[in-house]
Amino acid sequence: MKIPKEDLIAILSQFNPWWRKEKISDLPEWKRGAFQELMQWIENPPTHRAILLSGPRQIGKTTLLLQAIQQLLQIGTSPGNILYATFDHPLCKLAGLDAVLEAWRELEPKSEGPEYIFLDEAQFIKDIGTWVKHQIDFFKSKRIVFTGSAAPLIHVDQESGVGRWHTLRLSTLSFYEYLQIKKIQLPSIPTISSLQDLFSTAKNELFHMTESAKFLIGHFHEYLIRGGFPQTALIESITQSQKLLREDIVDKVLKRDMTALFGVRRILELEQMFIYLCMHDGGMQDTQTISKELGIAKPTVQNFIDLLESTHLIYRLPPFGYGKEVLRGKNKLYLGDPAIAPAVLMRGKSILEDPNALGNCVETAIIGHLWSHSVSNHARFSYWRNSKEKEIDLIVETGEKLIPIEVKYRSQIVQSNDLIGLIDFFKQKPSIQRGYVITKMSQDLGLLQEKIMRIPASLFCYWLGAAEFVQKNIIS
């Protein structure tokens, strides 16, 4: 649609205050762990590629773009060589990318040096994959960063994307980031280079770590309720925080994005199924059971699962194994953030009094932290279950290593007889060097058996989140 050039110029001028030598307003000083990796790809890319920031709604992707722009300006980049445009804006969406770029260059002539193009909500740009391919192939001086849902972009333009963009997959705030954004003052928490080092850590050092973990548990429970979304984390009222999460984040994805991006029309059925998943977070799900209980056709159920995963509202965890083992098994489905279920089901803080529901939230948080921490290492995640119903919550595969992780979030100290599945897995695969049990009690920290280390969930998530800021893998 033809939009008057003066209207586009007015919008772009508003989006790009640095053209008028004005500062970016209301930009937080604190930065997410992904900021360092983003700047490495913008300033000194290892190869010429665009950058795709992919992740759920309202996790700070736009803020990351603006913080990157601010840093470019601070190091002397010409303001006119930096463009920011969001295609969530109706006029930008209607005008199209070419018209936006033309309006930019009509207002701000190019200076010497690279051009930096930041495109927000790029899933609304027609043929974005083809455009990025062309720019990367023929214009080596352009640095392109775009945000949005990776799944529809990659699905539509899969061939174009190969070798043309590097994807930074962002999850919701880690527990460590949550503490930082809330500016919560804590006593010094010991850091570690690797979880493996805990097996050789002296008892007195473990005791010191145990004492520090006591200060984390209360904040960890609030994190599980408020969620890893910057907006909800900063709201004082938990009721209002959950209301915002339910209405502003979940509803927009289910009722707007699903229609706009995927053409979904049966929104009521989709909403019913999502509520069902919130009630069964972390459980094994198959299309036949969901179809029977909700009265939704099996192909529709499978399509909804694919779409919910595409928009980062759920994780899919397959069974451990290869070939027929995986094809015959049922997937586990986890929500994209531990606070989604309490918010959608309007449970407030009552979830802290329900051991099963709280345990599910913790398991969801552990999965999310591990996924975020290990995504750059191309780790594979699965769960293990044998014919005798013995089970392990999570198997992390990095290269040839298998690392089993069991979550036992309870008020009693975890003992060996609580870990029948984990011990049986070790017997079947004696080459495995170590495994972890994630617990509730701070005094649990320490060696349970020669190959099994107990770690409180609050400390485990804290360490994984902190490692993101130094770009270090501590789980391998």
Nearest CA to 84 out of 166, 167, 4, 11 is that of 11
Q: Which two tokens stand for residue 164?
A: 């043309």
The ranges of the chain with pLDDT < 70 are: 1, 149-162, 323-328, 376-377, 476
Asked whether residue 200 falls in the same domain as residue 138, the answer is: no
Q: Is residue 115 one of the residues assigned to a domain?
A: yes
**Is 86 inside any structural domain?**
yes
Instruction: Examine the domain organization and report whether 439 and 333 are in the same domain.
Output: yes
- From the list 301, 249, 299, 298, the residue with the least C-alpha distance to 274 is 301
pLDDT in tens, 447-463: 988 899 999 999 999 99
Question: Residue 195 domain-assigned?
Answer: yes
Does 304 map to a domain? yes
**Helical axes 355-374 vs 217-226, angle rounded to 10°:** 90
Q: Are residues 188 and 157 in the same domain?
A: no
First to last CA, the chain: 52
**Helices 34-43 and 61-74: angle between axes, nearest 10 degrees:** 50
- pLDDT at position 101: 95
**What are the pLDDT digits (tens) for 90-107?**
999 999 999 999 999 999
Are residues 152 and 188 both part of a single domain? no
Q: What is the pLDDT of residue 150?
A: 47
Angle 48-54-59 from CA coordinates, rounded to 5°: 130
State the pLDDT at residue 323. Answer: 60
The verdict on 448 and 304 lying in the same domain is: yes
Q: How far is it, in rounded angstroms, from Cα 404 to Cα 179?
A: 28
Q: Is 244 found in the same domain as 392?
A: yes
pTM greater than 0.85: yes
**What is the predicted pLDDT for the residue at 476?**
65
Within a domain: 475 = no
Domain that holds residue 387: 175-469
Q: Are residues 158 and 184 in the same domain?
A: no
Point out the domain boundary residue: 132, 153, 169. 169
Q: How far apart (Å, rounded) are the C-alpha atoms in residues 258 and 149?
A: 11
Domain boundary among 126, 146, 169: 169
In a domain, 364, yes or no: yes
Note whether residue 34 is domain-resident: yes
Q: Where are the alpha helices (H) located in 248-404, listed in sequence order? A: 251-252, 258-262, 267-279, 287-294, 298-310, 324-328, 340-344, 355-374
SS3 percent helix, strand, coil of the chain, rounded to 5, is 50, 15, 30
Which of 165, 136, 206 is closest to 41 using CA atoms? 165
Q: Is residue 60 part of a domain?
A: yes
Q: What is the pLDDT of residue 126?
A: 87
Residue 191 region by backbone torsions, left for phi larger than 0, else alpha for psi between -120 and 50, else beta: beta
Angstrom distances, CA of residue 355 to CA of 238, 405, 459? 20, 20, 19
Pick the closest to residue 245 from 228, 259, 261 (CA basis). 228
* pLDDT score for 412: 85
The residue type of 207 is F
Residue with tokens 């604190």: 30
Report d(CA 179, CA 195) in Å as an integer. Answer: 21
- For residue 322, give every residue at least 6 positions away whose Cβ sits within 8 Å of its Cβ, in sequence order, or none: none
- Examine the domain organization and report whether 121 and 197 are in the same domain: no
Cα(437)–Cα(403) distance, integer angstroms: 11
CATH classification at residue 69: 3.40.50.300
Task: Let me know whether 195 and 271 are in one domain.
Answer: yes
H or E stretch at 311: none
Residues 165 and 183 in one domain: no
**What local confidence, expressed as pLDDT, does residue 152 receive?**
53
Please identify, among 169, 199, 225, the residue that sits at the C-terminal boundary of a domain. 169
Total domains, the chain = 2
316-331 burial, b at 16+ Cβ within 10 Å, e below that, comes to ebbbbeeeeeeeebbb
As a whole number of angstroms, the longest Cα–Cα distance in the chain is 72
User: Domain check: are 243 and 349 in the same one?
Assistant: yes
Specify whether 41 is located in the same domain as 97. yes
